Chain A
């Protein structure tokens, strides 16, 4: 396919970047066709691997010159297809930008490039008694640039908040190619707040100032095994009810435990219908007191394990942190869903998921951040079985309907991306969505920065809002497939 603007743009990109940082070989390009969500695929028109913010700005300006869309990608671990490339566009990959530029412990800040992994920040300051708090399960792989784009969460967000609570400033390349810095201290509108979680639609972060936290004085991790998921759910409500704010409360059901066991031999108590991982941290005396309360609350558990040292703690977390990928051990294919419900609705929603599972003959493993009602149902299916994928997709969508029905949300932390854009109208009215578009258009009037993500219709600014009919334009143009 001859794509004139893209060809001309590629020539321009070669002038901006070293030869081996511009990828056009079709075989190589295809390795970038998807991120962590593999059922949306599109081979990028061209991939660039810049090493500086100026190079990114140059690439974005060149895209503007030729009217070519661009998509940013970090480690490619996203679970909503936020980094799904465009066949007619440029994929800007930040994985070569992995330098920790500055560590300022007195002011508890670190300045890093976007390709630095989440865990690498903690590793750089751990010995001095600091860490970077948000901890998505993919923290050893996922990039901080991607965390900013998705406003990533993690198990410990219950107490410490999401990425947005831990970013002090971002140098960004705006959709028209300007290099600007958004700082939390800036008076006026919270543009940094708007940028974080914008899923690549408002520009690309090129330098990120993160807030560092002090390693807590004491940490106690408890693994409580319950016979049923209801008992586990009751314990969660009781913990929060007495006013304890644990660093994390995680729950896994029997099927998720089975997968984790198969993958990493985490040795969770046998026969558990649900396990709860509760982590208490803070000043020693507080943790000791909270632990005593926790033991009373979890008296219904048939086994209670505690970990006080890092090795034991890692052993407890191992099963939970590997749960998503571990499901590959018990099912040929699966969909990782991400939804939120009010904590008090957990038992009702879980029961309804069970009914869906039975009705469609599709197994659902549940892993969730129970403390804040963030569900991660893993919808399992065999892609070799005809129709199974469609049924799984139906179950997966119905789970989101359940979340909305109970006053929750279609995403807790994985983002909307391309995958959930179609669910946005179920949660928001056309007016709501158009209002959001106004924000987007203020940053990206040409609609070049990650178009087709977040919003159901990749409408250009100035177009009259209306409900989209027929197939998705991405599907129609062959850039994406829907399953």
Chain B
């Protein structure tokens, strides 16, 4: 069968109503059917019915950010998230990309999911900005990578176990992630402190790697399974029944481990904000007089349906003024590796999001995904505006400890 791993039943759930169109970032940009969820499902159907994957077809699948806004919007319950994952894997199986594109993809996928390799990049980060124009000429994707490079903070060693402050209310595992861990170590540190201040023993197994999210979202099934299995082993060995994740993309993938590995892991996966709201607050909140624009990371809002919890946590901080970002359901263009492989579309979406964020007049941009933060900050820099950025965990950490942000 030519359809490979694309499930025709999932395709047939689509009734072609078009309710997904206005929520799709690429349709918003280009207004073309084949770059909308409905159009892409139509392309999947064509392939399942025997049309080979053409470079044009692959291009439209590649242009999908995987933001899942369409899943939220769909009244028929189409599992576009599953469909696009199956499709990407199918494209990887049957479609031969042109050599230059192949090379860049190899660089990215042999780099990002591996914290140790990322660590080697750290000294070069300061250089990246200066090298960007040269890299841009070699390949737009390399230029985009260099342009996104954040200013990395000093590495912080995180202990294997952070003890609860006060009476222990729970024991949880914590994912350190790959990009988060290497480029945003302060976010992991803040996460561990917040959990501890709320009464959790935080178990942080050493030797964690990538959870597999980047690979799942790019159709690299084998790599994804390998990384997922290792992550499951790590946390199973750590003996925790709850794993708290502070990166939206990782959380959404880990929640789908059952599907990926054909077996549910022996622990539940929760986003940090989801877990904190479930646990309920005990620690004192100190005032933080700051105006905050909260950005809904797609893999938190659309993929995990978590919108209320981060807002609840933020507004509970005295003095914090929370502003809503217009068009909050539209992706910022970061989308995992999207801003590297599709720099132009990512840039347009980033600019659009930067404008929306700027319109709130907020001084601090808060989100739950490192990719979004990098992307929006870069777009705002391009537009000549500056905004400070923080992860939800960092804001909570500052409030709980009574320090300024």
Residues of A within 8 A of B (CB): 25, 27-28, 30-36, 38, 49, 75-77, 93, 95-96, 98, 115, 117, 138, 140-142, 262-264, 322, 324-329, 332, 334
B77 to chain A, nearest CB (A): 6
Chain B residues, Cβ within 8 Å of A328: 13-15, 75-77
Is residue B18 contacting chain A, with contact meaning CB distance below 8 A?
A: yes
Q: Which of A28, A34, A96 has the most CB of B within 10 A?
A: A28
Is residue B19 contacting chain A, with contact meaning CB distance below 8 A?
A: yes
Q: Could you write out 9 A-B pairs with CB less than 8 Å apart?
A: A27-B54, A33-B42, A49-B31, A95-B32, A95-B33, A117-B22, A138-B17, A325-B75, A328-B15
Q: Smallest CB-CB separation from A21: which chain B residue?
A: B32
Chain A residues, Cβ within 8 Å of B39: 31
Complex Cα distance, B19 from A115, in Å, reads 15
Residues of B within 8 A of A (CB): 12-19, 21-22, 27, 30-34, 39, 42-43, 46, 51, 54, 56-57, 60, 74-77
Partner of A93, one of B33, B42, B56, B75: B33
Complex Cα distance, B77 from A32, in Å, reads 22
User: By the criterion CB–CB under 8 Å, are A141 and B22 in contact?
Assistant: yes
Q: Smallest CB-CB separation from B73: which chain A residue?
A: A140
User: By the criterion CB–CB under 8 Å, are B46 and A27 in contact?
Assistant: yes
Complex Cα distance, B304 from A155, in Å, reads 32
User: By the criterion CB–CB under 8 Å, are B31 and A95 in contact?
Assistant: yes
Q: With A75-B21, A328-B76 known to touch, is A36 a contact of B16 (CB < 8 Å)?
A: yes
Q: With A328-B76, A329-B77 known to touch, is A141 a contact of B21 (CB < 8 Å)?
A: yes
Chain B residues, Cβ within 8 Å of A36: 16-18
Complex Cα distance, B30 from A334, in Å, reads 31
Complex Cα distance, B138 from A4, in Å, reads 43
User: By the criterion CB–CB under 8 Å, are A31 and B22 in contact?
Assistant: no
Q: Is the interface of A mostly helix, strand, loop or mixed?
A: loop
User: By the criterion CB–CB under 8 Å, are B22 and A27 in contact?
Assistant: no
Complex Cα distance, B16 from A105, in Å, reads 36
Complex Cα distance, B25 from A357, in Å, reads 42
Chain A residues, Cβ within 8 Å of B54: 25, 27
A196 to chain B, nearest CB (A): 22
User: By the criterion CB–CB under 8 Å, are A28 and B34 in contact?
Assistant: yes
Complex Cα distance, B34 from A326, in Å, reads 23
**A28-B60, A322-B75, A325-B17 are known contacts; what are 17 more A-B pairs with Cβ within 8 Å?**
A25-B56, A27-B43, A30-B42, A32-B33, A34-B16, A36-B16, A95-B27, A95-B31, A138-B17, A142-B18, A262-B77, A263-B75, A322-B19, A325-B19, A325-B75, A328-B76, A332-B12
Complex Cα distance, B22 from A36, in Å, reads 15
Chain B residues, Cβ within 8 Å of A334: 15
User: By the criterion CB–CB under 8 Å, are B12 and A264 in contact?
Assistant: no
User: By the criterion CB–CB under 8 Å, are B77 and A38 in contact?
Assistant: no
Chain A residues, Cβ within 8 Å of B76: 263, 325-326, 328-329
Partner of A30, one of B14, B21, B22, B46: B46
User: By the criterion CB–CB under 8 Å, are A28 and B22 in contact?
Assistant: no
Q: Smallest CB-CB separation from B15: which chain A residue?
A: A328
Complex Cα distance, B1 from A345, in Å, reads 53
B301 to chain A, nearest CB (A): 17
Complex Cα distance, B56 from A38, in Å, reads 23
B50 to chain A, nearest CB (A): 12
Complex Cα distance, B22 from A138, in Å, reads 11
User: By the criterion CB–CB under 8 Å, are A138 and B18 in contact?
Assistant: yes
User: By the criterion CB–CB under 8 Å, are B75 and A141 in contact?
Assistant: no
Chain A residues, Cβ within 8 Å of B57: 27
User: By the criterion CB–CB under 8 Å, are A141 and B33 in contact?
Assistant: no
Partner of B18, one of A30, A77, A96, A326: A77
User: By the criterion CB–CB under 8 Å, are A325 and B15 in contact?
Assistant: yes
B99 to chain A, nearest CB (A): 23
What are the 10 closest A-B residue pairs judged by CB atoms, nearest first? Answer: A328-B76, A325-B75, A95-B31, A322-B75, A96-B31, A325-B17, A31-B39, A77-B18, A31-B34, A31-B42
Chain B residues, Cβ within 8 Å of A324: 17, 75
A318 to chain B, nearest CB (A): 10
User: By the criterion CB–CB under 8 Å, are A263 and B43 in contact?
Assistant: no
Partner of B33, one of A76, A117, A326: A76
Q: Which of B13, B17, B30, B39 has the most CB of A within 10 A?
A: B17
Complex Cα distance, B22 from A222, in Å, reads 29
Complex Cα distance, B84 from A17, in Å, reads 32
Chain B residues, Cβ within 8 Å of A95: 27, 31-33
Complex Cα distance, B65 from A179, in Å, reads 39
Complex Cα distance, B39 from A3, in Å, reads 26
Complex Cα distance, B18 from A93, in Å, reads 15
A380 to chain B, nearest CB (A): 12
User: By the criterion CB–CB under 8 Å, are B31 and A115 in contact?
Assistant: yes
Chain A residues, Cβ within 8 Å of B33: 31-32, 76, 93, 95
B210 to chain A, nearest CB (A): 34
Complex Cα distance, B14 from A34, in Å, reads 13
Complex Cα distance, B8 from A332, in Å, reads 12
Q: With A31-B33, A325-B75 known to touch, is A38 a contact of B43 (CB < 8 Å)?
A: no
A142 to chain B, nearest CB (A): 8
Complex Cα distance, B39 from A33, in Å, reads 10
Chain B residues, Cβ within 8 Å of A264: 75
User: By the criterion CB–CB under 8 Å, are A138 and B42 in contact?
Assistant: no
Partner of A141, one of B18, B32, B34, B43: B18
Complex Cα distance, B17 from A263, in Å, reads 14
Chain B residues, Cβ within 8 Å of A28: 34, 56, 60
Complex Cα distance, B58 from A28, in Å, reads 11
